[in-house]
Amino acid sequence: MSRSLFRGLAQAGGRAFRHGGGNGIDTDRQIRFTFDGTSYVGHPGDTLASALLANGVRLVGRSFKYHRPRGLLSAGPEEPNALVELRQGPWREPNTRATVAELFDGLVASSQNRWPSLAVDALGVNGLFSPVFTAGFYYKTFMWPASFWEKVYEPIIRRAAGLGRAAEEADPDRYEKSNAFCDVLVVGAGPAGLSAALAAAQSGVQVILCEQDSLAGGRLRCDATLIDGRPGWMWAQDAERRLSEMPNVRIMTRSCVFARYDGGTYGVLERVSDHLATPQDGQPRQRLWRVVAKQCVVATGGIERPIIFPNNDRPGIMLAASVRTYINRFGVVPGRRVIVYTNNSDGLRTVADLQRAGARVVAIVEASAHPSKAAQDLASRSGAKLFANATIANTFGRLGVTAAVIRDNYGKEHRLGCDLIAVSGGWSPDIALTTHHGTRPVYRDDIAAFVPAPNAANQDLHVAGVASGVMTDRDAFESGLAAGYLAAGKTGCGDGREQTLTSPSVVDEAYDIIPVWHGLDAENMRRAGKAFVDFQNDVTAKDVRLAAQEGFQSVEHLKRYTTLGMATDQGKTANVNALALLAEITGRTIPQTGTTLIRPPVQPVALGALAGAHRGKHFKPHRLPPTHRWAEEQGAVFTDNGLWRRAQWYPRAGESNWLETVNREVQTVRNGVGFCDVTTLGKIDLQGPDVRTFLDRLYVNAWQKLPVGRARYGLMLREDGFVFDDGTTARLSENHYVMTTTTAKAASVMQHLEFCHQCLWPELDVQFISVTDEWAQIAVAGPRSRDVIRQIVDPEFDLSNEAFGYMAAAEVTVYGGINARLFRLSFSGELAYEIAVPARYGDSLARQLMRVGAPYGIAPYGTEALGVMRIEKGHPAGPELNGQTTAHDLGMGRMLSTKKDFIGRRMAQREALTDPARATLVGLQPLLPDAPLVSGAHLLPKGAEATAASDQGWIASSAWSPTVGSWIGLGFLQNGPARLGEVLSVHNPLAGTVTEARVVSSVFVDPEGTRLHG
C-alpha cells in the first residue's frame, strides 16, 4: 500500500484500520490525542501504539545510530523501536514505549531522534556512512586526535545518536513508596498466573497478584483461543472477578514486578496514574512497592523473537503474535496485504486472525524443510502462496514496507507486494526474575529457548506457564494450578482445604519449532544489506560477525563491544537471536556459547519512583535543636552540621558583614557572657556498677578515680590506634554517668559502645542509652556566666568556685524544681557552664537566659564564634580528629594510660604511630596579622621549593582571632613542638599564594588557664 493511500485512510476519522471491536477497547467512546502535532482519535483501552496503527501511522521513530525509519515491532513492553516523548513541559517524559503508554484524552506525544521531521530526517545520511558505525565504533573511530574527542566527536555523536530529551524542569508529580506482605506473590495474570492465584487463594493463604498490564489475561486477550467454549479473555475476566471477590487476594494491575531481591523481597512499580492526564485525588504518579512474599509464582509468559533477514526493520515488519494482539485486543488490523514468516507452529495462528480481520495473506513463508500440514490447510483456505524451506531475502519501501523478496526452496526469488510482514522466530520464556539471583538458565533444544534452571536455592520460587517452557495453553493452566497449590502449601499458612480446581477445557495444538534464526546466506552476511539483530541499538548480523572475527566471542564481550542488549529494552527481542548467531559464526552450540544474566530492573524504573518522597528538603531532613524557633526569631543565620541545622551567627542591625558579627560574639563571651545551644553533641546515659571499668576500656585515660560530681575529658581511639572521638564524661552519682560525644560521631560512638559491651565485655554490668534528643544543653560562657547561671539554678545549690569548681558536675533543679544537669565545662576557655534541661524546656531556657542575662550584656553566639574560640584555645575538633591523627599527633600522647588495656592501645604503640617526626599539632600565626591563613594550605620550610618532597604539614583550622588581633591557625607539622618560633612558607596552590607564618603554641589565649578556674 502506498504512503498516499495510508495518509488518505488516516484522514478518514481514525477508523481506517479498525476492523471491529477489540476485547480490550471501548469503541463507544472516543478520545483525542496528538502525535507530532497531528490530532488523532482513539478509544479508551488503546495504547498509543494501537491508536497510531488504527490511524494508519506506521512510522513512529528513527533508529539510534543510522536514523532508519522505524515502526512498531511489538505490542508490549519488549518494544525496541517505538520510543516516544509523552506530555509537555515539566511533565515531558522521554523514551517511553508507545506499546505500553495507555491513551488518555489530550495526550500529547512526539517522536524523537529525528530532525527536522520523522519523514525527512537529515541525519538519515548516517546510513551512508554506516561503515563508520560498525561494532566497536566507539573504540575505533574517534580515537585520534585525542583532543578532538571532547570538542568535536562527542557533541556530534550525542546529537546524532541521542534518544529523547529529558524535561528541563523538576518533575511536578508525586511519587510514593509502600510495603506489602503476602504468603504467595503471583507475577503475571495470564492463564498460568490466574490459575496459580486461584489455586493459592483456594488454599486460604494471602495472595498478591501483580500484572504489569492494565488488564488481566495475558495472551488470552491477544489470541482467539476458546476456553470452555468461549473467548479466552472472558475466562480471564471471570477469573479476575472471582479473585477480586476473595478477601485473601489483592490484585495489582499496572504493577510490574521489576526485581527479585534476597529474602523474598520484590520490587514492584505501580503506575498509579500514568494512564491519566493528571493524577487525581492526591494520588501519586507512580508507587514503588516493596513486596515481601514467602513464596512466589513467576508466570511472566514469553517474548516472541523476530527472525534476522536483510532490511528486516522497516515499518510494517512486526512480530506475528503482536499482529494478533492488535487484531484481537485492540480491533486494529496493522496491514491489508500480509506475508507471514515463521519458524514455528504458533506463528501460523496469525493467518486465520488476519483473514477474519479482513486482511489478505499473500504468502506464508515457512522455515521448515517441508510445508506443515497446518500451513497447507491455511494456504488452501486463504489463497496464500506457501513457501517452505524459504526465507525473506530482502524488503523494500522507504518509510514502510511495500514489497518483499522471498527466496524459495530452489533459490528462486519471488517479489511480492505487501504492507505488513508478520514474523515469528519462536518464543523465549520471560525468565528475567528467575535469573536475578545469578542462577543461569538452561537451553532446551526442543523449544529452541532458554528456560529457568531447576535450582535448590530457589525453593521459594516456582515458575509456571510459558515462562517455565511449557508452550501450550492447556499446560499453562495446569502448571499454574500446580505451582499455586505447591507455593501455598510451602508457606505452611494454608487452611488445608481440598484442591478442587481443574484446568478449563481448551483446544490446543502442539508447539513445533525448528531452530532457524535468520534468513541469511553466507553471501548475504558479507553484503552490506542490513539485517538487524538488535533494533534499538542498531546492531546488525554483520556487527555480530565482525565482533566474533575480532575476538569478542564470549556473549559478555559481544554485548559490550556492539552495545547489543543495552538501553531501555535490554535486548528482550535481541539477545537470544544474537547468541544463536554468535554460536553459528563461531561453530559452537548455543549452550556452549552461553548467555548473559539479566539484572534488575525488568522494565525501566523512573528515578522519581526510586526517590519517592525523598526529594528536595525531604532528601535530608533537618534535625532542629530545641532553641531553633527562638533562634529564627533572633534572625540567626543557620548552617548544616550533618543532619543538624545550627545557628551560625546572630547578626544585629548595623553589622555590615558576618565577620563583624562573629567578632562581636567572641568579644561578648571573652568580656561578658554569651550562650550557645550545644544540644547537638551526643549524650549517652550510662548506669551500673561497672561503668567506670567500661569507661577505662573505652577511653585512653584513667577513670577509676573520677569522684561523684566531677567530669573528665576523655579520648577514644579506634582499635587501629587512631583517634576516634573525644568528649567529657561526668559522674552524677555512684553508678550513674553521662557521656558526651562530638556532634558528628554521636551515632557511631553509640554503636561502638554497643559492640564493646555486647561482643567484647558482656560480663560488665552496664546499661546505657542515647539521650541526645531528651536533653536540651546550652553552654553559658564568659566572666559573667556565674552571675547568669545563679539566677537560673534554684538557690539551694551552691555555685561558688569552691563548691562548684572547674569540671564539676551535678544534678540540680532550675526555676523551682525542674530537673536539670549542670556542668562546669568550657570549650571557649572562659569561666563557663553547660546546663541541660529536658528538651521541652530548651526554648524557654534560651528566653530566660536572654532575660536574666540582659544586665550583663548577654548575647547568643553561633557555631562560627564557637569555632573561633576553640581555635584560640587550641582545642581539637572535626578538622583535627579526621581519622588520620593519633593521640600523639594531637599532643595528647601522655594521656595514654600504661596501666590498663583500652581500645586501640596495642596498635597505637606501633613504631610509625609514635615517630616524633610525625606531623603534630602546632599553632600558626602569619607574620602579617591580616594575611589570611587558609585551611588545607601546605606547610613547607621557609623558601623551600614547592614540591611534595618538601611538604611538611598542613593547616587544619584557621580563623581571624579578634582576641589576638591576627589570623591564627591550628596545623600539623613534622617535629612540630620542637620548631616553636620557626618561620614557614604556607603554600595555597588553589589560590596560588605563598605566605609566611610562625610556629607558635597551639593555645593562643590564656595558656595558663586562669580564666577557666575563675
Partner 1 sequence: MRLTCPHCGPRGLEEFSYRGDATVRRPSLEAPEEDWIAYVYLRDNPCGAHKELWYHGSGCRAWLVVERNTLTHAVHSVNAVSVEDAP
Least Å from the CB of residue 901 to partner 1: 5
- The residue among 419, 427, 413, 339 whose CA lies nearest residue 379 is 339
| Interface stretch with partner 1, choices 15-23, 144-152, 255-263, 835-843 (CB under 8 A) | 255-263
Q: Which residue intervals of 329-446 are DSSP H helices?
A: 345-356, 373-382, 432-435
Q: Beta strands of 589-748 (E only): which ranges?
A: 637-641, 644-649, 674-677, 682-687, 711-717, 723-733, 736-741
CB 739 within 8 A of CB 684: yes
The piece of 18-26, 190-198, 397-405, 760-768 that touches partner 1 (CB under 8 A) is 760-768
Strands (E) located in 650-798: 674-677, 682-687, 711-717, 723-733, 736-741, 767-770, 775-781
The answer to the question of residue 767 lying near partner 1 (CB under 8 A) is no
Among positions 147, 758, 800, 947, the unique one binding partner 1 when judged by CB under 8 A? 758
Does 457 interact with partner 1 (rule: CB under 8 A)?
Answer: yes
Round to whole Å and give the CA distance between 471 and 507. 13
For residues 453 and 443, what is the distance between their CA atoms, to the nearest angstrom? Answer: 9
Cα atoms in the Cβ-side hemisphere of radius 13 Å centred on 227 = 24
380 binds partner 1 (CB under 8 A): no
DSSP state of 501: -
Tell me how many residues contact partner 1 (CB under 8 A): 25
Shortest Å distance, C-beta 720 to partner 1: 5
* Among 132, 152, 755, 989, contact with partner 1 (rule: CB under 8 A): 755
Touching partner 1, residues 957-976 (CB under 8 A): none
Residue with cell string 534476522: 308
Q: Out of 28, 245, 262, 945, name the contact with partner 1 by CB under 8 A.
A: 262
Q: Can residue 759 be called a binding residue for partner 1 (CB under 8 A)?
A: yes
Among 37, 247, 263, 587, binds partner 1 (CB under 8 A): 263
Q: Using CA atoms, how far apart are residues 122 and 889, in angstroms rounded to an integer?
A: 67
Verify binding: residue 15, partner 1, rule CB under 8 A: no
What is the C-alpha to C-alpha distance for residues 236 and 221, in angstroms, rounded to an integer? 8
3-state secondary structure 145-208: CCCHHHHHHHHHHHHHCCCCCCCCCCCCCCEEEEEEEEEEEEECCCHHHHHHHHHHHHCCCCEE
Q: According to the binding rule CB under 8 A, does residue 660 interact with partner 1?
A: no
Q: Taking the complex as a whole, how short is the minimal distance between the CB of residue 609 and partner 1, in angstroms?
A: 17
- Give the span between the Cα atoms of 996 and 987, in whole angstroms: 9
Rounded to a whole number of angstroms, the minimum distance from the CB of residue 599 to partner 1 is 15
Taking the complex as a whole, the smallest distance from the CB of residue 503 to partner 1 amounts, in Å, to: 34
| The residue type at 519 | G
DSSP run (H or E) holding 927: none
User: Can you list the alpha helix ranges (DSSP code H) found in 492-649?
Assistant: 522-526, 541-549, 555-562, 575-585, 590-593, 607-611, 628-633
Binding mask 411-440 for partner 1 (x = CB under 8 A): --------------------------x---
Answer yes or no whether residue 178 interacts with partner 1 by CB under 8 A. Answer: no
Least distance between partner 1 and beta carbon 460 (Å): 11
Which C-beta is closer to partner 1: that of 690 or that of 720? 720
Q: Please report whether residue 264 would count as binding partner 1 according to CB under 8 A.
A: yes
Residues 6+ apart with CB under 8 A from 312: 306, 392, 395, 423, 531, 532
When asked if residue 762 is in the footprint of partner 1 (CB under 8 A), the reply is: yes
Residue whose CB is less far from partner 1, 493 or 747: 747
What backbone torsions phi and psi does residue 897 show, to the nearest 5 degrees? Answer: -65, 145
Closer Cβ to partner 1, 262 or 498, answer by number: 262
Distance CA 633, CA 640 (A): 18
Q: Binders of partner 1 among 897-916, rule CB under 8 A?
A: 901, 905-907, 910
CB of 896 to partner 1, least distance (A): 13
Query: Per CB under 8 A, which of residues 282..301 are in contact with partner 1?
Result: 290, 292
Nearer to partner 1, 748 or 848 (CB): 748
Q: Is 754 in the site for partner 1 (CB under 8 A)?
A: yes
720: contact with partner 1 by CB under 8 A: yes
Q: CB under 8 Å to 957, separation ≥6 — which residues?
A: 867, 871, 877, 879, 880, 935, 969, 970
Give the x-and-dash track for 854-883 against partner 1 (CB under 8 A): ------------------------------
Dist CA 839 CA 844 (whole Å) = 10
Q: Are 239 and 194 in contact (CB under 8 A)?
A: yes
Q: Does 613 contact partner 1 by CB under 8 A?
A: no
690 makes contact with partner 1 (CB under 8 A): no
Which position among 166, 276, 760, 928 is part of the footprint of partner 1 (CB under 8 A)? 760
Binding site residues, partner 1, CB under 8 A? 261-265, 290, 292, 437, 457, 719-720, 747, 751, 754-755, 758-760, 762-763, 901, 905-907, 910
